[in-house]
Amino acid sequence: MDYQQAQDFLAAHRQSHLLKYYETLSPEQQTCLLKQIDGLDLDRPQFRDLSALEQKRGKFEPLGALTLEEIKKDAARYREIGLEAIRTGKVGAVLLAGGQGSRLGFTHPKGMFNIGKTRNLYIFECLIENLKRVTDEAGAYVPLLIMTSKDNDAETRAFFQTHHYFGYSAGHVLFFQQETEPAIAENGKILMKSPSEIVLTPNGNGGWFSSMQRAGLLKKINEFGVEWLNVFAVDNVLQQIADPLFIGATIASGCISGSKVVSKAAPDERVGVLCLEDGKPSIVEYYEMTEEMRTLRNADGTLAYRFGVILNYLFRVDALMKTLGSDFPLHVAHKKIPYLGEDGKTLIHPEAPNAYKFETLVLDMVHMQESCLAFEVDRSKEFAPVKNATGVDSVETAQALLEQNGVVL
Ligand code: UTP
């Protein structure tokens, strides 16, 4: 795309401001900017009308889970099935670490956060320790695919290298980068971060499978013979990865996917709930639930919409391959996004949300599956999210839970 083409293209989409500083740029910067503009697909709805992104939801119904008591009864069988799948190389794990962690306010990749008190204990290290417990028991490594973002990729890779992969097999750790989306201001204009750069933000955790494929790693795991992928978030320090019980129970259930869930503490707890939507597995967000859904009870008095998701899913690779090329719903997030000021020099750091970023979500992938086993886990043993610096789901609450589980901080 040359300058004239870029000018026409942007004018037709009311984004001409992206060329405002063109004349002041070096030839390299000009080429770089034109390349970014060429990569924009401005016919997509988010550049025309945000309301077009609103999702129409179907008919929700409750979905039961394999409960803690039921799991306990069959634990030995599930464990053996799970360990066998790991031993025979059928299981891979995917760590979603491409987020921006803006609520934590840590300027490095979230996994580099040191959650120790008297010693260094990084979030990445915690997760690897959890995974190693399983691979030690199975006597086999699980390929670990780590999704990073354009912004945190180099730092994440370097951190793992410096720390010798925290004792995990370096040959079994594979990194890939997720895609990005341009961010837009409240007036619909694409933001710039410098006179030659558009603001590109990570496009949410839903794109992990297609990003993995684009990076050539799908081919690789197919060659390894991986049949199941356990996808999990970076920020739950009690996360059980490649959990043989979970894998075994999902395989035994005949379902093509599984989700770890926790029993909600109260009807109004702010957690997405695994349910059925138009007969298919789905996740309803807490703010989408009506009062009736929130308080509906089963005959035994338990909440009908009881099982909250913790971002730990198991997917079958062959089923995921069918989702490639599908259009994921795009979710809009109103965020504080730094942008280039009017003077064309200063990067402004807003104090309040000023712009929109666009994300696909892994939970929408669950709705693309024909079936999903809800697998209940004990939240005090498996759920310690680090989302905020203080308060709810914070460093302090996660530290307390780690200590409760015998981890020396
Ligand atoms: P969150 O929804 O907590 O988002 O991510 P975040 O960006 O990490 O944090 P905030 O909202 O800015 O505070 C849940 C999981 O999904 C991953 C995160 O790294 C985390 O493991 N994620 C999120 C991605 O991998 N990519 C994304 O674009 C967003």
Any atom of ligand 1 within 6 Å of the Cβ of 126: no
Any atom of ligand 1 within 6 Å of the Cβ of 96: yes
Query: How many angstroms separate the alpha carbon of residue 387 from the centre of ligand 1?
Result: 9
Any atom of ligand 1 within 6 Å of the Cβ of 178: yes
- CA 240 distance to own-chain centroid: 16
Averaged confidence pLDDT in the chain: 95
**Residue 197 token pair:** 């750069």
Q: What is the mean pLDDT of residues 31-60?
A: 91
150, 152, 205: residue to mutate for ligand 1 pocket, most atoms within 8 A of CB: 205
Cα separation, 404 vs 262, whole angstroms: 18
Query: How many angstroms separate the alpha carbon of residue 242 from the centre of ligand 1?
Result: 20
**pLDDT band at 49, cuts 50/70/90?**
confident
End-to-end CA distance of the chain: 55
Whole-prediction pTM: 0.93
Query: How many angstroms separate the alpha carbon of residue 359 from the centre of ligand 1?
Result: 10
Nearest to 20 by CA among 182, 201, 199, 196: 196
Asked whether 165 and 135 are in contact (CB, 8 A), the reply is no
The residues, any chain, with a CB within 8 Å of residue 366's CB and separated by 6 or more, are 257, 259, 274, 281, 282, 283, 313, 372
What is the bridge-based pairing of β-strands 280-284 and 273-277? antiparallel
Ligand 1 atom with the shortest distance to the CA of 232: 21
Ligand 1 atom with the shortest distance to the CA of 100: 7
Q: Which pLDDT tens digit goes with each residue over 55-93?
A: 889 999 999 999 999 999 999 999 999 999 999 999 999
Angle between helices 27-38 and 3-12 (to 10 degrees): 40
Nearest to 393 by CA among 286, 237, 166, 252: 237
- Residue 243 has what pLDDT? 98
Cα separation, 285 vs 333, whole angstroms: 14
Query: How many angstroms separate the alpha carbon of residue 233 from the centre of ligand 1?
Result: 8
At 1, the amino acid letter reads: M
- Residue 328 has what pLDDT? 86
Ligand 1 atom with the shortest distance to the CA of 203: 28
Asked whether 114 and 108 are in contact (CB, 8 A), the reply is no
Return the percentage of the chain with pLDDT > 90, whole number. Answer: 90
- Residue 177 has what pLDDT? 96
Asked whether 341 and 347 are in contact (CB, 8 A), the reply is yes
- Residue 278 has what pLDDT? 96
Residue that the structure tokens 């006179």 belong to: 195
H or E segment to which residue 397 belongs: helix 395-404
Query: How many angstroms separate the alpha carbon of residue 150 from the centre of ligand 1?
Result: 14
Q: Which pLDDT tens digit goes with each residue over 358-394?
A: 999 999 999 999 999 999 999 999 999 999 999 999 9
Q: Which pLDDT tens digit goes with each residue over 259-294?
A: 999 999 889 898 999 999 999 999 999 999 999 999
- Residue 54 has what pLDDT? 85
Query: How many angstroms separate the alpha carbon of residue 12 from the centre of ligand 1?
Result: 34
Q: What is the mean pLDDT of residues 166-193?
A: 96
Any atom of ligand 1 within 6 Å of the Cβ of 204: yes
- Of the given ranges (133-137, 192-196, 387-391), which has the lowest mean pLDDT? 387-391
- Residue 53 has what pLDDT? 86
Return the percentage of the chain with pLDDT > 70, whole number. Answer: 100
- How many other CB atoms are there within 10 angstroms of residue 59's CB atom? 8
Cα separation, 113 vs 401, whole angstroms: 16
Q: What is the mean pLDDT of residues 206-222?
A: 94
In angstroms, what CA-CA distances link 38 with 3, 249, 326, 396?
Answer: 10, 47, 23, 46
- How many other CB atoms are there within 10 angstroms of residue 167's CB atom? 10
Q: Which conformational region is residue 315 in: left (phi greater than 0), alpha (psi within -120 to 50 degrees), or beta?
A: beta
Closest CA to ligand 1's atom 25: 98
Cα separation, 232 vs 254, whole angstroms: 21
What is the bridge-based pairing of β-strands 228-233 and 307-316? antiparallel
Query: How many angstroms separate the alpha carbon of residue 234 from the centre of ligand 1?
Result: 8
Q: Which pLDDT tens digit goes with each residue over 238-256?
A: 999 999 999 999 999 999 9
Any atom of ligand 1 within 6 Å of the Cβ of 102: yes
Q: What is the mean pLDDT of residues 34-41?
A: 95
Any atom of ligand 1 within 6 Å of the Cβ of 99: yes
Q: Which pLDDT tens digit goes with each residue over 297-331?
A: 999 999 999 999 999 999 999 999 998 888 889 99
- Residue 225 has what pLDDT? 95
Q: Which pLDDT tens digit goes with each residue over 327-343?
A: 889 999 999 999 999 99
Torsion sign, CA atoms 311, 317, 319, 325: positive
Cα separation, 281 vs 364, whole angstroms: 10
Q: Reply yes or no on whether the pLDDT at 50 is more than 90.
A: no
Q: Reply yes or no on whether the pLDDT at 408 is more than 90.
A: yes
